[in-house]
Amino acid sequence: MLRPQDTASREKKRLDGLWRFALDPDGEGRRAGWYRGPLPGTQLMAVPASFNDVVADAAVRDYFGDLWYQTVVRVPRGWAGERIVLNFESATHRAVVWVGDTQVAEHEGGYTPFEADITDLVTPGEEVRITAVVNNTLSFQSIPPGAIEETASGRKQRYWHDFFNYAGLHRSVWLYSTPRAFVSDITVVTGLDGTTGTVEYTVETEGGSAAVAVVLRDADGAEVAAGSGASGTLSVADVHRWAPGDGYLYDLEVRLDDGGATADSYHLKVGVRTVEVRGTEFLINGEPFYFKGFGMHEDHAVIGKAHNDAHLVNDFQLLDWIGANSFRTSHYPYSEDVLEHADRLGVVVIDETAAVGLNMGIGGGIFGGQGYTTFSPETANDATQEVHAQAIRELIARDKNHPSVVLWSIANEPESETEAAENYFRPLFDVARQADPTRPVGFVNVMLAPHGKCRVSQFGDVLMLNRYYGWYVNTGDLEAAEHDFKAELDGWSTEGKPIIITEYGADTYPGQHSIVPEPWSEEYQIAYLDTNHRVFDSVEAVVGEHVWNFADFATTSGIMRVGGNKKGAFTRDRQPKAAAHALRRRWKG
Ligand code: BDP
């Protein structure tokens, strides 16, 4: 699926703003057909936004079930004769959509786009009612998983990931037009041969037999290569590579030519670069790359997980300020705007699915058994695995052309020490590799499955480890932490694969100070990071360090969380803790 675009042949109209909104705890709306008319009540909701913190009511914040969104929009009158599409960048965690009285789309998974051709249901120049019922309930058959439990105060949603279950319409909704014959997908794979770059392209089309022509232009708009046919390879002499810190992008225009007139035109940004794992090295353009940065979250006050351009630009400014060259989209696919910005700025991305919390041995860093077996016919089962496979396919389908993305992470901290885990994950690595044979694939290993015990790491090209020596274990004892962490990494090093430390961090209450390095103080966070860095610097196979987390973020309430998770280098409102300055000294040198 291609993002909506304005081109010589296409137009897009953003449907963001205030939508009608109604909670529907009893599921009455589907029975009564609420989409047939105005939603009941007068509540309005901002789109894009997580609904949870917008309304000043605990019952709304923690609500789970059906939530209805509705808007009335006028279809641009100039679109007569065009194909008209309704596109949702995401609906968390699933949705059904109607245009007028007709159901047009149904989608599972909260962080990838879906769309519907609604040409036959609308009339250019006239208004149309769009209704979506979004559902945010988590079950063992959703990614991420959850369960509903009966308590003395009623049914409660439980889940095992350590961030708040923000939901709703987090990203833009679009109407867009294309010609009847249109480009439906493009895949590019880039290569390097000395100073020459190659761009292998495949174009899919629908709605006609128009011929495909492609033109590649440099950042100044000068044509550097051209081709025709639905697939081919373009060569670029003296190529300007996309590289970390240098987000140079070419523009690939794909045109459908229909007897002289342009039937369709689509522009794809292309960064020419290679990615390769060789021994314990992670190579970008054939050169060893060391990941410096963070696991992040889409998380802000009031808007929750909504995409916002000002926050986007600001977060990347802070990444640059601190000297980060990369981040992981922990723990779900981020807005595609984030990836486009990373492409532009030359920031390297580890792209992750929403498979987080598939581990009943932990509760998102809050240790303690959860009273379930992770993999069983009643819990995470074959149906879950298929939903997970689909999440991997959709992530890769959306993000395959982003040069910033160098590695797929198919899950965060799942159970991985059991035979059931091995059986569950083996085919999922195949799914990822089939969808993208060009990038390495991995998953993020949890501390409970250390070297020698983990049965899933064997399938990954890279070892991604989350470790909390000096925090959840060896709490306050950094000397022991250093010793134990080094011993574990020496074990992993024997695997002959690159190791990225995808999480290490210490909760830190801003303004908490201590002469002696005491957990929760700003001084301890610095001492903790220094200790970890000494370990990384002594292990050759370590090719990256991603501090947990970029910024403090919202979680469910619990005795381990003080107004959320406080492991940020920045506070939730993006002020630096002392550790941010320390990281800047290390990363900027
Ligand atoms: C890890 C999780 C992450 C948590 C973190 C923590 O991957 O989502 O937020 O620990 O406990 O288990 O801070």
The token duo for 389 is 């496979």
Q: Is the CB of 399 under 6 A from ligand 1?
A: no
Query: Which is nearest to 333 in space by CA: 387, 274, 409, 386?
Result: 409
The token duo for 173 is 């909704």
- Best of 162, 546, 565 to mutate for ligand 1, by most ligand atoms within 8 A of CB? 162
- Concatenated DSSP letters for 106-165? EEE-SSS-EEEE-GGG--TTSEEEEEEEEE----TTSSS-EEEEEETTEEEEEE-SSS--
DSSP label at residue 41: S
DSSP label at residue 308: -
CA-to-CA distance for 399 and 388, rounded, in angstroms?
17
8 A C-beta contact, residue 201 and residue 231: yes
494: Cα within 13 Å, side-chain hemisphere: 7
Q: Is the CB of 507 under 6 A from ligand 1?
A: no
CA-to-CA distance for 186 and 361, rounded, in angstroms?
41
The token duo for 72 is 């009335």
Identify the H or E element spanning 533: helix 522-537
CA-to-CA distance for 299 and 488, rounded, in angstroms?
32
8 A C-beta contact, residue 417 and residue 448: yes
CA-to-CA distance for 517 and 481, rounded, in angstroms?
14
- Best of 370, 503, 508, 555 to mutate for ligand 1, by most ligand atoms within 8 A of CB? 503
Q: What is the pLDDT of residue 223?
A: 98
Q: What is the pLDDT of residue 210?
A: 84
What is the three-class DSSP state of 256?
A: strand
CA 419 to centroid of ligand 1, rounded, Å? 24
Relative to the CA of 565, which ligand 1 atom is closest? 13
Q: Is the CB of 413 under 6 A from ligand 1?
A: yes
Span between the terminal Cα atoms of the chain, in Å: 42
Q: What is the pLDDT of residue 260?
A: 62
Q: Which of 394, 488, 503, 522 is catalytic?
A: 503
The token duo for 256 is 């459908």
Q: Residue 302: left (phi > 0), alpha (psi -120 to 50), or beta? A: left
Q: Which of 108, 115, 352, 413 is catalytic?
A: 413
Burial (0-12, 13-18, 19+ Cβ within 10 Å), 509: middle
DSSP label at residue 503: E
Q: Is the CB of 466 under 6 A from ligand 1?
A: yes
Among protein residues, the one whose CA lies closest to atom 9 of ligand 1: 162
CA-to-CA distance for 157 and 162, rounded, in angstroms?
14
Residues in the chain: 589
Q: What is the pLDDT of residue 370?
A: 67
Farthest CA pair distance, the chain: 77
Q: Is 106 a catalytic residue?
A: no
Q: Is the CB of 264 under 6 A from ligand 1?
A: no
| Other CB atoms within 10 Å distance of the CB of residue 170 | 26
Identify the H or E element spanning 531: helix 522-537
- Best of 294, 360, 366, 413 to mutate for ligand 1, by most ligand atoms within 8 A of CB? 413
CA 331 to centroid of ligand 1, rounded, Å? 10
Which residue bears the tokens 């995470």? Answer: 380
8 A C-beta contact, residue 309 and residue 337: yes
Cα Rg, the chain, nearest whole Å? 24
Q: Is 340 a catalytic residue?
A: no
The four Cα atoms 51, 54, 57, 62 give a dihedral, to 10 degrees, of 30
Query: Which is nearest to 461 in space by CA: 485, 496, 419?
Result: 496
β-sheet with 211-217: strand ranges across? 223-228, 211-217, 250-258, 261-270
Q: What is the pLDDT of residue 295?
A: 98
CA-to-CA distance for 498 and 281, rounded, in angstroms?
5
Q: What parts of the chain have a pLDDT lower than 50?
A: 364-368
Q: What is the pLDDT of residue 449?
A: 96
CA-to-CA distance for 433 and 441, rounded, in angstroms?
7
Query: Which is nearest to 371 in space by CA: 556, 193, 160?
Result: 160
Q: Is the CB of 545 under 6 A from ligand 1?
A: no
**Tens digit of pLDDT for each residue in 48-65?**
999 999 999 999 999 999
Q: Is the CB of 365 under 6 A from ligand 1?
A: yes
